[in-house]
Amino acid sequence: MSAHDRWAGTDGRLRRQLRQPAHPWAFAPGQGMIQPHDHVHMDRALMLAERGRGQTSPNPMVGAVVVSADGRLIGSGYHEHAGGPHAEIHALRMAPDARGATLYCTLEPCCHTGRTGPCVDRIEAAGIARVVAAVEDPNPLVAGAGFTHLRAHGIEVDVGLRRKVAMVQNRAFFTFVRTSRPFVILKAAMSSDGYIAQGPGVRTALSSAASLRHAQGVRAEIDAIGVGSGTVLVDDPLLTAREVYRHRPLARVVFDRRLRTPATARLFSTIAHGPVIIFTARETADACPGRVAALESVGASVEPCEDLPSAFRRLGERGITSLLLEGGAALHQAAWDADLVDYVQVYVAPRVIGQSGVPFLPDRSLSLVALADGRTTVCGADVLMEGYVHRVD
Ligand code: AOF
Ligand code: ZN
């Protein structure tokens, strides 16, 4: 095996990702030239978009900035929550006279009527002369038609400035719109010799307080947390976002083919935090109507389902754009084998468990150092290693 093959993982998956050709929307300037100040204004729009993090699902985070012909910032805004005004509208409302101005936006302006009207009409009516957008909207109702509309009305359009940053910012939205399933983060806590528990069914606390706090931060912005029934039986987790700000409901999903989840699980004491969805095999649901009824009586929604891909699609139909897969080992392996993992987050603890432990992804087709755009972060005594399996950009 060559050094490159070792670096890129053993199953070719990451290699395929990294060898993808440049995206056709890699920077495409319009009639004008991109100037240094364009980057500054787009960065401001990206920062504004960030204020919507965790609040806008299933819609994207979007920021917008209006700059007058003589270079003054005359409007800015961001998308605050799904169903509310789009970022462009907030920014234009702040700028009563935007004739001849440039609008910077982190996503292509929309040209359709959804819960709100088309932004392109408002942009045109405001007399905007130029639009600089980071990236095309993958929504099939838009998908380049917003740019076409603007150009057809004499507005100069530049696309692709900070494209990658904008796509990563909205990685859940891009994955959700393109694949009709959520962006999936596989999360695990692992010993330094590669084990996630001391033995099957043994509750093993590995993470430092700093790692636990970091993980709560992820829970604050995700749409759903997923676990296997084994994790419910062994850990009896609450699966809530704690000590972080979270306004929206958090969906909790149990993958439970055999319907082993007890109606007495602590999870059902937290229904006020968000729905609990239990995916089970159709045969199990048919054979055990009493168990289904017991789970439904404590607030669960029991959904018969063929396999993991169809369960993930069902979550997409519910508008769940991101899913944090917390374990256990069987669920991680199933998602990995079905090529449904987009991003991996592993908190590596300075502890050795030894060969009697439960290994993390035992087929060893995942090499943490081969993850794309990989990052390491110190979390107390632990090191968080994370990166992409499927890049969005
Ligand atoms: C947003 N915020 O700032 C922009 C969006 O249902 P609607 O009318 O809010 O439309 C949602 C779609 O509009 C969304 O999926 C995306 O394609 C486009 N742009 N959406 O929520 C915004 N600019
Ligand atoms: Zn819009």
Whether 186 and 99 share a structural domain? no
Domain final position from 109, 138, 169: 169
Does residue 326 have its Cβ closer than 6 Å to ligand 1? no
Whether 202 and 299 share a structural domain? yes
Q: Which amino acid is at 109?
A: P
Spatial contact of 370 and 268, defined as CB atoms under 8 Å apart: no
Domain range enclosing 19: 3-169
Whether 130 and 204 share a structural domain? no
| Ligand 2 center to 72 CA (angstroms) | 23
Spatial contact of 336 and 366, defined as CB atoms under 8 Å apart: yes
On whether residue 254 sits in a domain, the answer given is yes
Separation CA 217–CA 241 (nearest Å): 8
On whether residue 268 sits in a domain, the answer given is yes
Among 50, 55, 59, 321, say which to mutate for ligand 1: greatest number of ligand atoms within 8 Å of CB. Answer: 59
| Ligand 1 center to 111 CA (angstroms) | 10
Task: Name the percent of the chain lying above pLDDT 70.
Answer: 92
Tell which atom from ligand 1 comes closest to the C-alpha of 116: 8
Spatial contact of 68 and 74, defined as CB atoms under 8 Å apart: yes
On whether residue 393 sits in a domain, the answer given is no
Q: Is the pLDDT of residue 331 over 50?
A: yes
Tell which atom from ligand 1 comes closest to the C-alpha of 107: 23
Q: Which amino acid is at 339?
A: D
Whether 186 and 59 share a structural domain? no
Taking the CA atoms of residue 204, residue 206, residue 210 and residue 213 in that order, the dihedral angle to the nearest 10 degrees is: -30
* 3-class DSSP string for the chain: CCHHHHHCCCCCHHHHHHCCCCCCCCCECCCCCCCHHHHHHHHHHHHHHHCCCCCCCCCCCCEEEEECCCCCEEEEEECCCCCCCCHHHHHHHHCCCCCCCEEEECCCCCCCCCCCCCHHHHHHHCCCCEEEECCCCCCCCCCCHHHHHHHHCCCEEEECCCHHHHHHHCHHHHHHHHHCCCEEEEEEEEECCCEEECCCCCCCCCCCHHHHHHHHHHHHHCCEEEEEHHHHHHHCCCCCCCCCCCCCCCEEEEECCCCCCCCCCHHHHHHHHCCEEEEECHHHHHHCHHHHHHHHHCCEEEEECCCHHHHHHHHHHCCCCEEEEEECHHHHHHHHHCCCCCEEEEEEECCCCCCCCEECCCCCCCCHHHCEEEEEEEECCEEEEEEECCCCC
On whether residue 141 sits in a domain, the answer given is yes
Q: Is the pLDDT of residue 116 over 90?
A: no
Whether 74 and 221 share a structural domain? no
Which ligand has the nearest atom to the CA of 64? 1
Whether 237 and 211 share a structural domain? yes
Does residue 319 have its Cβ closer than 6 Å to ligand 1? no
Whether 154 and 303 share a structural domain? no
| Ligand 1 center to 117 CA (angstroms) | 9
Q: Residue 160 CA to chain centroid, in angstroms? A: 21
Separation CA 145–CA 152 (nearest Å): 10
Give me the helix-helix angle, 36-50 and 87-94, nearest 10°: 110
CATH of the domain at 119: 3.40.140.10
| Ligand 1 center to 221 CA (angstroms) | 19
Whether 239 and 108 share a structural domain? no
| Ligand 2 center to 1 CA (angstroms) | 50
Domain final position from 130, 150, 169: 169
Does residue 163 have its Cβ closer than 6 Å to ligand 1? no
For ligand 1, atom 19, name the residue with the nearest CA: 110
* Length of the chain as a residue count: 393
Number of domains, the chain: 2
User: Catalytic pick from 50, 80, 88, 136?
Assistant: 88
Whether 101 and 228 share a structural domain? no
Q: Is the pLDDT of residue 333 over 90?
A: yes
On whether residue 361 sits in a domain, the answer given is yes
Separation CA 6–CA 15 (nearest Å): 10
238-249 confidence digits (pLDDT tens): 999 988 888 899
On whether residue 289 sits in a domain, the answer given is yes
Tell which atom from ligand 1 comes closest to the C-alpha of 141: 17
CATH of the domain at 368: 3.40.430.10
Whether 270 and 323 share a structural domain? yes
Q: Predicted confidence band at 27 (pLDDT cuts at 50, 70, 90)?
A: low
> Residues 369-374: what's their mean pLDDT?
92
| Ligand 1 center to 187 CA (angstroms) | 29
The pTM is what?
Answer: 0.90
On whether residue 73 sits in a domain, the answer given is yes
Q: Is the pLDDT of residue 358 over 60?
A: yes
Q: Pick from 199, 187, 191: which is nearest to 348 by CA?
A: 191
Does residue 137 have its Cβ closer than 6 Å to ligand 1? yes
Whether 123 and 90 share a structural domain? yes
Does residue 59 have its Cβ closer than 6 Å to ligand 1? yes
> Residues 41-51: what's their mean pLDDT?
98
265-302 confidence digits (pLDDT tens): 999 999 999 999 999 999 999 999 999 999 999 999 99
For ligand 1, atom 21, name the residue with the nearest CA: 59
Does residue 79 have its Cβ closer than 6 Å to ligand 1? yes
Whether 184 and 99 share a structural domain? no
> Among this protein's residues, is 88 annotated catalytic?
yes
Does residue 106 have its Cβ closer than 6 Å to ligand 1? no
Handedness of CA 37, 42, 48, 51 (dihedral sign): negative
Which ligand has the nearest atom to the CA of 142? 1
Separation CA 91–CA 44 (nearest Å): 12
Domain final position from 146, 169, 192: 169
164-220 confidence digits (pLDDT tens): 999 999 999 999 999 999 999 999 999 999 999 999 888 889 999 999 999 999 999
In degrees and rounded to multiples of 5, residue 152 shows phi and psi of -65, -20
Does residue 86 have its Cβ closer than 6 Å to ligand 1? yes
On whether residue 357 sits in a domain, the answer given is yes
